[in-house]
Structure 1
Amino acid sequence: MKRLFALLLLAVAAPAAAEPFRLIVSDLETPLVPNSVMDLALANGYFERAGVEVELVRVQQTPMALAALQAGEGEMANVSTDALLQLAARGTTDLRAVMSPNKALPFLIAAKPEIETPRALEGRSFGIGRVGSLDHSLSAKVLAAEGVDVSKLNLVPLGQPAVRAQALLAGQVDATTMSIGTWTAMPDREGLRILVGMDAYFAAAPVTTKVNAVTTEVLKSRRAEVEAVIEALVLAARDFQDPATWVERMAVARPDVPRADLEELARAYRNSWSIDGGFTREELKVTTEWMYGTEDFQGLRPVGLEEWTDFGPLETVLQKLGPAQG
């Protein structure tokens, strides 16, 4: 009886096992973009080596990810920047972006072969998701930087990127925006040209479209784990900027994708990895200014960076790791 009582006392006194740190993602499988770093970091032991137990919670799209985060169903969520910024503008005070594992959508502009320069698009048809959609707004900024009078484009709302790609192949539009993944998956794309490549697209529109966000309560109560997650993602990104490394890991995660396609994507992503956290004040200021010029932000109050970001955890991690090589 005394032995049983002693064991009960030990059980009460012992600290409870730490709960897994739940990372909410909106990809139902490992995506063919640098956002794959989160899945691959888990599958290849990066979180474990950083000293944190991570569990992925999969949902569909940013609204569900934000709802899950706010409901306490996860500690960190990968969400669209515009959705997080809109919440802050509408009065939500307890969410903070802390890094971006994949800050830019890998967009490019593809066109019919006879269209040799962006300015040649004036007076031609351009496929978009919808008026005011992200692809429309960003592409307008990119084309304006190329000297195009975007008011002279004949905009054709078509919906999803795959539909726009098919319309371009069928000659129903003269050009459209799509991701490098959609471009790679297109059959018979030899009859088309890349009018504005991925790197040039981001250079003209350096907008951070995705961030990882946490609640202020998680920042207070589980900050060490937040920093460990960031550390793991930064180290994984530094490894995956070697195309061969990413291809090898993705071949295991996505055996359904031809290796040649993975190799083409890896070359395209060589400058896209968030090797220092993908999170700078300058780019986020540009992002905020651009977003407030779009239709979705009309009438919303301006917010400062301090209302929806916290650079502290990333700065601590980078001080520990040092800057990336190269």
Structure 2
Amino acid sequence: MLKFPLNRRQALIGLGAAGTMLSFGLPARAAAKVNLGVIRLASHAPSFIAFERGYYKDEGLDVDLKFFEAAQPMAVAIASGDADYGVTAMSGGLISLAGKGAVKVIGGALTEEKGIVGAIILASNKAYEAGLTSPKELAGRSFGITTTGSSFHFMVYKIAQANGIPLDQITLRPLQKVGAVVGALSSGQIDAWAIQPSIGKMMIAEGHARQIGLFSDYAPDYQVTTVFTSTRNAADEREKTQAFIRAYSKAVDDYNAAFVDKTADAAEVDDVAKIVHKYVEADLPFETARNNLLEGSQRINKGLALSLNSVTEQLEWFKSEGMVKEDITPEMLFDTSYVKTI
């Protein structure tokens, strides 16, 4: 086939024709539709920041937010295709679905870090007054969790292990939703709980609970939440998945600068806080919600880096407790090709 080199004038005419064709409405590539699983917690702030600031759109993604009350239902939605990406804690349900080839963890998000107030261990007022003033005294007490096999379940295991308390000496109370655990602790129906500082500090300030410890004393490198998707997305939708990670990571930088490192100026802090307030603690006055974010935010890993040691420890614990099958390997659960591992 003969090829004819274009002179400068012909090249300019060609470029002009291409521009004319575009101006007459040749369709651009449609934005990729994405359903993102979220929970109305401050730890999900980057989900909302990226949505409101157009970071997803900038990456060619048309994102809808799909709200959940707990981690396990979100994992089921990812596996079934009702949601494309999720950011939540590892759970027995998520791991089991990975064992069936349905989902993959592709990144890390919220993390415990020494020097930053992380999850707070709380006692109800009733239990505190009866002597529960330290995690060392949890034997014979009740502890709130959302579901069996949730991150709260793993956290109470780590607390018990560090204090030499057999886990079966603590009564676990699965209450399904975070709001239900808040209510049960506030009313003294359960004795203890461990929760993110944005909620824990608010409960303390309102006189509904007492602080008896910090979870970072027991697991300073705990990978609290992870980013996950379907195995099909991880394997076959690489460009879309990378675009999602880029958009989310940009929002993570905004969140950390405003609330964790506190390097953003006051106007930026207010702007980011207003975005989050639309979705989290929307029933509170803005100034209260803003202060909760400033006083109670944990770091989210830059670039959604994944703490492989922490998540592998969690996998092994779930297996040791018989909550997931013994033959599930890290390779079945984690796709480490998308982000840095730490």
Residue 3 of structure 2: aligned partner: none
Contact 1:127/1:164 (8 A) holds in 2? no
Distance 1:294 1:103, change over 3 A: farther
Per the alignment, residue 142 of structure 2 pairs with 126
How much identity, in percent, do the aligned residues show? 16
Deviation at 1:309, TM superposition (A): 1.9
CA shift at 1:103, angstroms?
5.8
Which residue does the alignment assign to 1:110?
A: 122
Tell me, yes or no, if the aligned pair for 1:46 and 1:233 is still in contact at 8 Å.
Answer: yes
User: What is the CA distance between 1:276 and its match in structure 2?
Assistant: 3.4
Residues 307 and 167 of structure 1: is their aligned pair in 2 closer, same or farther, counting only changes over 3 Å? Answer: closer
CA distance in 2, matches of 1:196, 1:260: 24
Tell whether the 8 Å contact from 1:37 to 1:233 is kept in structure 2 after alignment. yes
1:55 CA displacement: 1.0
Q: Which residue of 2 aligns with 1:249?
A: 272
Residue 222 (1) aligns with residue 234 (2) = no
Q: Paired residue for 2:155, among 138, 145, 154? A: 138
- Structure 1: distance between partners of 2:67 and 2:47: 14
Count of matched residue pairs: 292
Amino acid at match of 2:230: V
For the pair 1:22 / 2:34, whether they are aligned, the reply is yes
Unaligned runs of 5+ in 1: 1-9
Q: CA deviation at 1:139?
A: 0.8
Match of 1:237 among 213, 236, 252: 252
Aligned amino acid, residue 30 of structure 2:
A
Distance in 1, Cα, partners of 2:183 & 2:76: 34
2:326 maps to which of 301, 305, 312: 301
Following superposition, the deviation at residue 162 of structure 1 comes to 4.0
Distance 1:71 1:86, change over 3 A: closer
Deviation per residue, 1:287-316 (Å, 9 max, x gap): 21122123422xx1322222232111224x
Picking from 87, 90, 95, the partner of 1:85 is 95
* Residue equivalent to 1:211: 227
- Structure exhibiting the larger radius of gyration computed from Cα positions: 2
Q: Is the aligned partner of 1:36 residue 2:67?
A: no
Q: Deviation per CA, 1:161-206: give whole Å up to 9, x if none.
A: 44444444444554333443443443764474211225335428x2
Partner in structure 1 of residue 15 of structure 2: none
Corresponding residue of 2:6 = none
| TM-score normalized with structure 2 length | 0.69
Structure 2 counterpart of 1:101, from 106, 109, 112: 109
Cα offset for 1:110? Answer: 0.8
1:3 corresponds to: none
Do the aligned residues in 2 keep the contact of 1:237 with 1:275 (CA within 8 Å)?
yes
Distance 1:166 1:99 in 2: 32
What is the aligned-residue RMSD (CA, Å)? 3.6
SS of 1:311 mapped into structure 2? coil
